[in-house]
Amino acid sequence: MAEYQAPLKDMRFVLKEVFNSEQEWADLPGLAGAVDMDTADAILEEAAKISNEVVGPLNREADEQGSSWNDGVVTAPEGFKEAYATFCEGGWNGLGGNPEYGGMGMPKTLTGHVEEMLQGASISFGLAPMLTAGACLSIDAHGSDEIKQKYLPNMYSGQWSGAMDLTEPHAGTDLGIIRTSAKENGDGSYTINGNKIFITWGEHDMAENIIHLVLARLPDAPKGPKGISMFLVPKIMVNDDGSLGERNGVSCGSIEKKMGIKGSATCVMNFDDAKGWLVGEPNQGLAAMFTMMNYERLVVGIQGLGAAERSWQSAIEYARERLQSRAPTGAVAPEKAADPIIVHPDVRRMLLTMRAYTEGSRALNHYTAMWLDKSKFGEGEVQQHGEAMMALLTPVTKAFVTDKALDCTVMGQQVFGGHGYLREWGQEQLVRDVRITQIYEGTNGVQAMDLMGRKVVANGGKFVELFAEDINAFISSCGDEMAEFTGPLQAALATLQETTKTVVEQAKADPAIIGASAYDYLHQFGHVAHAYMWARMAQVAQQKMGSDSFYESKLAVARFFYARLLPQAKTHAENIQAGSEPLMALTADLF
Amino acid sequence: MAEYQAPLKDMRFVLKEVFNSEQEWADLPGLAGAVDMDTADAILEEAAKISNEVVGPLNREADEQGSSWNDGVVTAPEGFKEAYATFCEGGWNGLGGNPEYGGMGMPKTLTGHVEEMLQGASISFGLAPMLTAGACLSIDAHGSDEIKQKYLPNMYSGQWSGAMDLTEPHAGTDLGIIRTSAKENGDGSYTINGNKIFITWGEHDMAENIIHLVLARLPDAPKGPKGISMFLVPKIMVNDDGSLGERNGVSCGSIEKKMGIKGSATCVMNFDDAKGWLVGEPNQGLAAMFTMMNYERLVVGIQGLGAAERSWQSAIEYARERLQSRAPTGAVAPEKAADPIIVHPDVRRMLLTMRAYTEGSRALNHYTAMWLDKSKFGEGEVQQHGEAMMALLTPVTKAFVTDKALDCTVMGQQVFGGHGYLREWGQEQLVRDVRITQIYEGTNGVQAMDLMGRKVVANGGKFVELFAEDINAFISSCGDEMAEFTGPLQAALATLQETTKTVVEQAKADPAIIGASAYDYLHQFGHVAHAYMWARMAQVAQQKMGSDSFYESKLAVARFFYARLLPQAKTHAENIQAGSEPLMALTADLF
């Protein structure tokens, strides 16, 4: 298989040409002076080096070896500990962190691309920094100054890693029914008891301490989601002078045998009279955790993108080298026994579909990151606008991107024929690894419900109108030369607005309509969003045609997307118009 | 996970009610008296027992253990050898075999259901009888009487298994460029030299001999696909008296590490001065092999169906038991902490989609098998009609059924949330196992090309018209009460006919159009074929409403299919109308 190469040219195309991010950064008061394009370029270069040279080469063997558990001790696959040390030395854990506590304060429009490289190199490895960064976000947003002082600097340095302890055997999607308990000790600390499952990197040997954010219930807490609090529970107690003390009552009971991301440890965590500290207000734990979840959801989309990109890199190399049969239009390599398979239209269909969704996803992730930056570093209306758009787009970038990433990695494997089924080529690993991204941090079904319910119906489609305004403003800025894209984009947007209206209206009388429409709405929305991204990419490409064949190629992929992939949006709209009846007619016992 | 239970009621519904197979059998001269419904019923019962009780329970552990290789010796996972012996004792290997040589001569409309049970219980195990049956078919169709006498009885008994040696490292889809050589020895035998890869059960410890059918080139053979011959090469030489002699020059160099079907051995086979015998005419090897390939392709579709069914059985059980969140229409289990997840519309969407494609595929496989039976046991026009329909439908049942089987197993895994990603539940294994069915015996891209090129364009759409006639005859036989199905079916068929006409027309000028349309055409066709099957099932269900809630449930799934899945057919049609330009515009170097 091709070794992973961070797609720097494509990232810079998005960052500089499709979105003028340097200007965006300069316009945000909270970011003023923190980053310019030269700094960003240097960061991207360095991130590419560590991803390509340090992390990427470990990924295949880590899948074979897996993390291992022995009497509570978890050992990461060979090379992970050293790679993690190198990663920490580079200061990468704190890239997006709060500068007051040692972070670098970079915007998501930059850190998102760094994350793509890391996750493209290895999802199993990338999960450790991802969970740490997410935990830091929650602590920074909700922790007391004392807690931040005590934990954040060592987490930004990577010396201590972070973990997120939500799920219990009987409670995954429905966190309102968790049983882990917390009791106040009277000295500001709490005693935590309970069992958590699916705790990614909940235990390992790469960092000297692990800081758990644990959801638990206080004795007098109301039932359900409004009775959940968040606690910081270190694996090893931290003394007041910052040195490490004794082991806390936190232990790893076992690690799971999984379909993929085998290099990472998915832990069963036991809390036996563990000592913890409240982060945020009592009974506000779910809200506090969601600060982290929203961040994680964007990174999960980025994981999908990274895997799809890696699958593409191997597939295109193979399609150029593998000789099999002749082109339908006549031999192109008559001196050889057969033509390279890239000549076959159906192989091209797979390759172009991979490019269209992968590059569309990269642009969409950046677009969502842009709104996140506005919500974080902007002020007043800009900030509010950013928050609304980020809320709307987060479930789409998580779920649509990862659904398409599965399709892409399956196609990348298919291009290899029988060889794609063998482990040695790495393509099948990407399918297995990417499959988790559709499941964790809220299944894609949950994302679709979140989009349809909380982000669309709950506000009567107001956020969708903000999205439509942005697309319409773009369309208005285009000349006639863009008509081949803006026409279908306008039509696809109009259908999305119709669908939105239908569901908002029907939801008044039919409580099942949100769930019944959710999947199709998310996929209709995703296709419209990709159409918008491809129109923006095509606009840049048109303007630069002739300067570099790179732009010619972008324009061809944009046309392919509009001709062969966008039509699906209509089918999703039609499914939604069919209402909830076809899904709800059958009683549960007749299934 | 749920233990596999052969879906006998659904099979009998198809066999007896949707298709009146007993009448079909009675009408075929070549089958007269060979089978009636009582015999068939008894066979189904016994097959269910061995699948549920003997083979199914081995599947999960066989995946963990895998087949192993040691110095040329391949050992099947624990329990396989004993299960294979039990399977052979029951005479199952010869179920569809030629009675002249010890087979039972059963029609495909019966053996197909038996195969579904076996493959549903374990694809890894099922591959051994499948390859044996395929090899027997080729030998029976093309071998000399001497060869048939010598090999078939012991293969039908299962004492010897069969293998199919086509692929070489540089030649998979393109068998015309294989290098394995055969030289005449002057005594009727040939000396075979070369290396083959991807040889399923090419070596193992379950049978006392393995009969390889090997593609090789004679010294004076024309280049390309017209210079390939087929040879029978036993692992152990067979003496004239039928006893086993010395080991032939056939050895297993290694077995592959794969994504799935790990219980089965995928062998690298080396032929070093191995002794073989020509089967069929010199240079007609590909045609002879295709007798086997067509059979195998149908069984590959059945493998997909079996896996989808098994995934469904676990998913529905889990959806009824797993408690998580409340129904949007209000609590249905207020006494419990949460409602079973089957109440959620999006979970229902996944479950109904699984049912629709799985049960549609079962009917479609039976429908294809019916035409195969006519081609084999019929005479005159009936036989010719059968051959045409079987040729048309084979790539659809192979590729559409397995593509949908992947979707279904992914959904079956998704219903389990995070637990679906763990190996212990078995759902992820089904995804990994089923993935091979889209790749081997001709990738699904190759199937789509076969359909679009050889089965549609090559005859100007004549076979499609036969299919349309059959659907129209059905529609004419329906009353008004069927209008909710026959209306959309008629429309979907008309669009398929238009698409067919477009491609047939464009192919005259555009050599790339076949490959460019192939995937979408296959999926458009598959949806129309499923719509036809669901209309037939709905017709029976309507007639029997009230007698058993089974029929109520069928009708609801039929309605779901028409409302929420059939609309995709139009998108595929639209993609085809976009022509080959979007796929062919980009030059290979600009990808």
Amino acid at site A393: L
Q: What per-residue confidence (pLDDT) applies to A350?
A: 98
Instruction: Count contacts between A and B (CB, < 8 Å).
Output: 260
Q: For chain B, how are helix, strand and coil distributed in percent, rounded to 5?
A: 65, 15, 25
Question: Which residues of A fall within a CB distance of 8 Å from B418?
Answer: 167, 172, 197-198, 439-440
Chain-chain contact of B438 with A345 (C-beta, under 8 angstroms): no
Q: Can you tell me which residue has the tokens 């299960």?
A: B83
Judge whether A252 and A72 are in contact, CB under 8 Å. Answer: yes
Q: Can you tell me which residue has the tokens 């596999």?
A: B4
Q: Residue A451's CB: how many other CB atoms inside 10 A?
A: 30
Give me the mean pLDDT over the A503-519 stretch. 98
Question: Which residues of B fall within a CB distance of 8 Å from A198?
Answer: 418
A333 near B CB under 8 A: no
Q: What per-residue confidence (pLDDT) applies to A564?
A: 97
Give the C-alpha separation, B237 to B231, whole Å. 14
Q: Is A70 exposed, middle or buried (0-12, 13-18, 19+ CB in 10 A)?
A: exposed
B458 near A CB under 8 A: no
Give the C-alpha separation, A96 to A114, whole Å. 10
Cα-Cα-Cα-Cα dihedral sign, residues B490, B496, B499, B500: negative
Give the C-alpha separation, A329 to B583, whole Å. 13
pLDDT in tens, A256-304: 999 999 999 999 999 999 999 999 999 999 988 887 788 889 999 999 9
Nearest CA in chain B to A443: B417
Alpha helices in A378-461 (DSSP H): 380-395, 401-415, 427-435, 444-449
Give the C-alpha separation, B367 to B21, whole Å. 10
Nearest CA in chain A to B177: A337
Question: Which residues of B fall within a CB distance of 8 Å from A355?
Answer: 591
Give the C-alpha separation, B452 to B458, whole Å. 8
Give the C-alpha separation, A465 to A63, whole Å. 44
B348 near A CB under 8 A: yes
A68 near B CB under 8 A: no
Q: Residue B540's CB: how many other CB atoms inside 10 A?
A: 17
Q: Can you tell me which residue has the tokens 């190399």?
A: A317
Radius of gyration of chain A (CA): 24
Give the one of A325, A413, A449 whose C-beta lies nearest to B173's C-beta. A325
Give the C-alpha separation, B54 to B7, whole Å. 16
The nearest CA of chain B is from the CA of A545 a distance in Å of: 14
Give the C-alpha separation, A390 to B329, whole Å. 29
Q: What is the mean pLDDT of chain A?
A: 97
Judge whether B66 and B19 are in contact, CB under 8 Å. Answer: no
A54 SS3 class: helix
Domain boundaries, chain A: 444-580
The nearest CA of chain A is from the CA of B563 a distance in Å of: 6
Judge whether A25 and A43 are in contact, CB under 8 Å. Answer: no
The nearest CA of chain A is from the CA of B528 a distance in Å of: 15
B263 SS3 class: coil
B519 near A CB under 8 A: yes
Chain-chain contact of A549 with B516 (C-beta, under 8 angstroms): no
B564 near A CB under 8 A: yes
Q: What per-residue confidence (pLDDT) applies to A1?
A: 60
Chain-chain contact of A435 with B431 (C-beta, under 8 angstroms): yes
Chain-chain contact of B345 with A511 (C-beta, under 8 angstroms): no
Give the C-alpha separation, A40 to A26, whole Å. 13
- DSSP of B317-342: HHHHH-B-S--TT--S-TTSSS-BGG
In the DSSP assignment, the letter for residue A259 is S
Q: For chain A, how are helix, strand and coil distributed in percent, rounded to 5?
A: 65, 15, 25
Judge whether A222 and A288 are in contact, CB under 8 Å. Answer: no
How far are the Cα atoms of A208, A343, A541, A544, B50 from residue A549, in angstroms, in the given order? 49, 19, 10, 9, 61
Give the C-alpha separation, A489 to A472, whole Å. 9
Chain-chain contact of B583 with A515 (C-beta, under 8 angstroms): no
Judge whether B505 and B461 are in contact, CB under 8 Å. Answer: no
A469 SS3 class: helix
Closest to B485 in 3D by CA, of B526, B536, B525, B527: B536
The nearest CA of chain B is from the CA of A578 a distance in Å of: 6
- Mapping DSSP onto H, E and C, the string for A131-166 reads HHHHHHHHHHHHCCHHHHHHHHHHHHCCCEEEEEEC
Give the C-alpha separation, B464 to B531, whole Å. 15
Low-confidence ranges of chain B (pLDDT < 70): 1
- DSSP of B342-396: GGSHHHHHHHHHHHHHHHHHHHHHHHHHHHHHHHHH--HHHHHHHHHHHHHHHHI
pLDDT in tens, A103-162: 999 999 999 999 999 999 999 999 999 999 999 999 999 999 999 999 999 999 999 999
Give me the mean pLDDT over the A562-581 stretch. 97
Chain-chain contact of B560 with A583 (C-beta, under 8 angstroms): yes
Give the one of B174, B346, B568 whose C-beta lies nearest to A338's C-beta. B174
A2 SS3 class: coil
B414 near A CB under 8 A: yes
pLDDT in tens, A469-501: 999 999 999 999 999 999 999 999 999 999 999
B345 near A CB under 8 A: yes
List the beta bridge partners of residue A279: A230
Chain-chain contact of B257 with A423 (C-beta, under 8 angstroms): yes
In the DSSP assignment, the letter for residue A263 is T
Chain-chain contact of B588 with A325 (C-beta, under 8 angstroms): no
Give the C-alpha separation, A133 to A160, whole Å. 11
Question: Which residues of B fall within a CB distance of 8 Å from A346?
Answer: 445, 448-449, 515-516, 518-519
Nearest CA in chain B to A258: B422
Q: Is A127 exposed, middle or buried (0-12, 13-18, 19+ CB in 10 A)?
A: buried
Chain B stretch 181-210, residues whose beta carbon is closer than 8 A to a beta carbon of chain A: 197-198
B316 near A CB under 8 A: yes
The nearest CA of chain B is from the CA of A42 a distance in Å of: 27
Give the C-alpha separation, A396 to A521, whole Å. 10
Nearest CA in chain B to A521: B346
Judge whether A172 and B418 are in contact, CB under 8 Å. Answer: yes
What phi and psi values does residue A90 have, to the nearest 5 degrees? -75, -5
Q: Which secondary-structure segment (H or E) carries B236?
A: strand B236-238
As annotated, the active-site residues of B are 441
Give the one of A260, A344, A449 whose C-beta lies nearest to B346's C-beta. A449
Q: Can you tell me which residue has the tokens 């830091």?
A: A136
Residue B590 CB contacts under 8 Å (≥ 6 apart), including other chains: A549, A552, A553, A556
A511 near B CB under 8 A: yes
- Alpha-carbon torsion, ordered A338, A339, A344, A347, to 10 deg: 100
A574 near B CB under 8 A: yes
List the beta bridge partners of residue B250: B271
Chain-chain contact of A414 with B348 (C-beta, under 8 angstroms): no
Give the C-alpha separation, A161 to A204, whole Å. 10
B167 near A CB under 8 A: yes
B347 near A CB under 8 A: yes
The nearest CA of chain A is from the CA of B203 a distance in Å of: 18
A72 SS3 class: coil
List the beta bridge partners of residue A233: A212
The nearest CA of chain B is from the CA of A35 a distance in Å of: 33
Alpha helices in B34-79 (DSSP H): 37-49, 59-65
Question: Which residues of B fall within a CB distance of 8 Å from A173?
Answer: 324-325, 417
B157 near A CB under 8 A: no
Chain B stretch 422-451, residues whose beta carbon is closer than 8 A to a beta carbon of chain A: 422-424, 428, 431-432, 435-436, 438-440, 443-445, 448-449
Q: Is B488 exposed, middle or buried (0-12, 13-18, 19+ CB in 10 A)?
A: middle
Helix axis angle, A549-560 to A345-377, nearest 10°: 100
Give the one of A174, A323, A344 whose C-beta lies nearest to B338's C-beta. A174
Question: Which residues of A fall within a CB distance of 8 Å from B578?
Answer: 563-564
Give the one of B170, B344, B514 whose C-beta lies nearest to A515's C-beta. B344
The nearest CA of chain B is from the CA of A507 a distance in Å of: 11
Nearest CA in chain A to B327: A512
Q: What per-residue confidence (pLDDT) applies to B145?
A: 97
What are A552's two structure tokens? 């010619």
Q: Is A405 exposed, middle or buried (0-12, 13-18, 19+ CB in 10 A)?
A: buried
Q: Which secondary-structure segment (H or E) carries A318?
A: helix A285-321
Closest to B284 in 3D by CA, of B232, B234, B221: B221
Chain-chain contact of A177 with B584 (C-beta, under 8 angstroms): no
List the beta bridge partners of residue B331: none
Q: What per-residue confidence (pLDDT) applies to A291?
A: 77
Closest to B588 in 3D by CA, of A1, A323, A344: A344
The nearest CA of chain A is from the CA of B286 a distance in Å of: 15
Nearest CA in chain A to B224: A337
In the DSSP assignment, the letter for residue B397 is I
A530 near B CB under 8 A: no
Residue A315 CB contacts under 8 Å (≥ 6 apart), including other chains: A350, A351, A354, A411, A412, A415, A416, A427
Residue B36 CB contacts under 8 Å (≥ 6 apart), including other chains: B22, B25
Give the C-alpha separation, A344 to A107, whole Å. 42
pLDDT over threshold 80, residue A2: no
Give the C-alpha separation, A550 to A556, whole Å. 10
Judge whether B395 and B444 are in contact, CB under 8 Å. Answer: no
Question: Cα B46 to chain center, whole Å?
Answer: 22
Cα-Cα-Cα-Cα dihedral sign, residues A37, A43, A44, A49: positive
